[in-house]
Amino acid sequence: MSTKVTMTVNGKQVSAEVEPRTLLVQYLRDHIGLTGTHVGCDTSQCGCCNVHLNGEAIKSCTILAVQAEGADVTTIEGLAAADGELHPMQKAFWEHHGLQCGFCTPGMVMVGCDIARRKPDADEKAIRHELEGNICRCTGYEHIVEAIHDGIRAMNRR
Amino acid sequence: MYAFNYHRPSSLDDAAKKAAEADDGKLLAGGMSLLPSMKLRLSAPSDLVDLAAVDGLKGISVSGKTVTIGAMTRHVEVQTSAEVQKAIPALAALAGGIGDPSVRNRGTIGGSLAHSDPSACYPSAVLGLGATVETNKRKIAGDDFFVGLFETALEPDEIIKAVHFPVPDAAGYEKFPQPASGFAMVGAFVSCTGKDVRVAITGAKDHVFRVPEMEKALAANFSADAIASIALPADDMMSDIHCSAEYRAHLVTVIAKRAVAKAAG
């Protein structure tokens, strides 16, 4: 039994007919065509699916699309400016080589932005703690933490 | 997950009605436990009744010696509440240790208590503080709330509205977290109010329980040393890939001591 689900994604209103059991990550990837948000696990642990819902980082694999009816969603695709200029957090990941395969990266960047919102004075130790919900199999986290630290400082300066 | 009918009522009465009318319905709060379970096909409710649009279930208030937390209040809100940090800092710290930041942006206290995972943190706080769970039908004492494995005293169409925590003189929570999930392999919530001591253990058995022996020892001497020699039998403790029953029994004493040290210091 499908139902029409409408929400704002990256500033644009979108709609799709989906079953209630459709996860938000599936809605974004399969119905809206935004495949930057990734599915990395079955257990809500990996964090690759992080998006911002009404300004807060949440795991889009653990929420139904219908629960986000009328909400304001930002995905990784929504961070860069209209003219393509990278968001400070994205820039920081580029400058610090905060990725290898890139699979966890959208989730890391979205959570990095959420850390900046909640803890603009986070140090390296705090950032590592805040990344407990994000798993990376490639990097060993060093450059991810440096990137987020730098990205937070750049966001503070904006 | 299997298909279901989705409802989004805007009143508590409507939510209770929808839950009662369903073949095999479940209430949906934050979804941080229910949805993963449904994704793994461990549960397959016929209907989900989403509480997100029901008014009056959110918020934190302190009145006299009671902290009241609405059922749909998220973990991040309890974690960052100046009022909870002041009145019962151990409770704010407990909320801040659940899952991870993204999970804490969605998970709720009502959902945690109704789900009653044997390794969840909040049940130990309710039992460890002697809190009262207020539902749409009655008030249930913390001591009577947790009944069995994922089983509470709640009736099928009963909905948690709020939890009332009495403010203790001192309290401490410590857990030995499973490294990936953060769940308490063993967790201990210890509080004292006057000569009243409560020691509530989560993660060890199929639901939270108190340790009267430890409570008696601590009432006489509120220090970690007072319970160092108290060892619980492993017989009815959980055994899984993370931890044997014997290790859980060992952890109970270690973790309880650390919780006491936190409360005392």
Instruction: Kindly report the CATH number assigned to the domain that includes residue B14.
Output: 3.30.43.10
Question: Does residue A147 lie in a domain region?
Answer: yes
The mean pLDDT of chain A is 98
Q: Which of B102, B103, B106 to mutate against chain A (most A CBs within 10 Å)? A: B102
Residue B128 has pLDDT above 90, yes or no: yes
Cβ–Cβ contact B105 with A under 8 A: yes
CB contact under 8 A, B101 and A20: no
Asked if the ipTM is above 0.90, the reply is: yes
**Residue pLDDT, tens place only, B28-39:** 999 999 999 999
What pLDDT does B181 receive? 85
Residue A63 neighbours by CB under 8 Å, 6+ apart: A23, A24, A53, B31, B35, B106
Q: Are both B67 and B161 inside the same structural domain?
A: yes
Asked whether the beta carbons of residue B100 and residue A132 sit closer than 8 angstroms, the reply is yes
Whole-model pTM: value is 0.97
pLDDT given at position B127: 98
Residue of B54, B100, B181 to mutate when probing chain A, most A C-beta within 10 A: B100
Q: Is A50 on the interface with B (CB under 8 A)?
A: yes
Measure A110 CA to nearest chain B CA, in Å: 10
Q: Which domain holds residue A134?
A: 88-157
* A80 interfaces chain B, CB cutoff of 8 Å: no
Q: Mind telling me how many Å the CA of A22 is from chain B's nearest CA?
A: 9
Q: How confident is the model at residue B48 (pLDDT cuts 50, 70, 90)?
A: very high
Same domain, B213 and B244: yes
Question: Do B119 and B202 form a contact (C-beta atoms < 8 A)?
Answer: yes
Task: Flag whether residue B96 sits within 8 Å of chain A, measured between CB atoms.
Answer: no
Instruction: State whether residue A71 sits within 8 Å of chain B by CB.
Output: no
Q: Is the pLDDT of residue B156 over 90?
A: no
Are B123 and B46 in the same domain? no
Residue B260: pLDDT band (50, 70, 90) is very high
Distance from CA of A129 to the nearest CA of B (A): 9
Check CB contact of B177 with chain A, cutoff 8 Å: no
* Other CB atoms within 10 Å distance of the CB of residue B86: 12
Domain extent at residue B189: 60-264
Q: For position B230, what pLDDT does the model report?
A: 98
Tokens coding B146: 């947790």
Contact A78/B at CB under 8 A = no
Same domain, yes or no: B42 and B97: no
Contact B256, B214 (CB under 8 A): yes
What total number of domains does chain A contain?
Answer: 2
Q: Encode pLDDT of B201-210 as tens digits.
A: 999 999 999 9
Which residues of chain A does B52 touch, with a Cβ-Cβ cutoff of 8 Å?
A: 67
Do residues A75 and A34 make contact, with C-beta atoms less than 8 angstroms apart? Answer: yes
The amino acid at residue B177 is: P
User: CA Rg, chain A, in Å?
Assistant: 15
pLDDT for residue B179:
86
Which residue, A78, A108, A143, sits at the end of a domain? Answer: A78
Instruction: State yes or no: pLDDT of B212 exceeds 90.
Output: yes
Same domain assignment for residues B205 and B178: yes
pLDDT of B180 above 90: no
Domain final residue pick, A54, A78, A102: A78
Q: Are residues A118 and A73 in the same domain?
A: no
**B195 and B176 belong to one structural domain:** yes
B46 touches A at CB < 8 Å: no
The confidence score (pLDDT) of residue A1 equals 86
- pLDDT-derived band at B157 (thresholds 50, 70, 90) equals confident
| Phi/psi at B48 (5° precision) | -115, 125
Number of domains within chain B = 2
Give the mean model confidence (pLDDT) for residues A126-143. 98
